Structure 1
Amino acid sequence: MAKRGARRSAADETLPCPCGSGLPYADCCRPVHRGEAAAATAEALMRSRFSAFAVGDADYLLRSWHSSTRPARLHLDPSLRWTRLEILGTDRGGLLDSEGTVEFRAHYREAGRPGTLAEHSRFVREDARWVYLDALPE
């Protein structure tokens, strides 16, 4: 999901979080992005990563990536605007699990045209926190 939209300003932090929780960004994914809170589940990490793409937070995306699969750098495409996340299903990834998967559809707009990225992502705990490992093959 190396696509993104414009970074949110401080004034935008009262708008709904891009992850679709219905909470303001300031009360939802922003504390996770800033390291003030941790994602409690694999789904929560997936939601925070989608929001990071939506607000343009490449540093958080790299920090939330497993050390064995993390790229050296990440270029986020400024021509994309991430618009909506659909969680299609989860397997494990709960409070007491050490691994889990999340199947999702991420919707975006590019050059005024809608697009969708579908993925079945694997998450594991590394240093006691959830991180993105990779995508399962289709």
Structure 2
Amino acid sequence: MIRTVDISDVPVIHAMIRELADYERAPHEARATEEQLRDALFGEHPAVFGLIAEDDASGQPVGFALWFRNFSTWRGTHGVYLEDLYVRPSARGGGHGKALLTELARICVERGYSRLEWSVLDWNEPSIGFYKSLGAVPMDEWTVFRLTDDALAELGS
């Protein structure tokens, strides 16, 4: 079952974000707090939206997707940027990841959004294969750039 996150999901989403950071070999980079997550999802001006995948038998959360709207100047429409998609190892292969992506695609279609985009680490072959099996294509000609920490502060000051 896929459902929209509610405020009581924040602790479990936070825990799964930590699990995802471990999987992606970067636990030191996952610094978000539950309070920051709660504010981003449920504050006065929510900036992030989320879905929860629940185990059909137990009803326990086994995965999540966090996303936000972006905008394509070329297409003139909004899209969805999937920030994180995670399914706990014990629940992988049960269709939860596909169900989360299917719901995001449904949201895009329903709202007239023209793109659903995300990033994947180039070494994550299981995920890359899964995404390709759904019809997703890598954007090989694009390189992601990022400013953080000291470089961001220096440029912004």
Q: TM-score, normalised by structure 1?
A: 0.31
Which structure has more helix as a fraction of its residues?
2
Report the TM-score when normalising by structure 2.
0.28
Greater length-normalized contact order (CA 8 Å, ≥ 6 residues apart): 1
Whichever structure has more strand as a proportion of its residues is 1
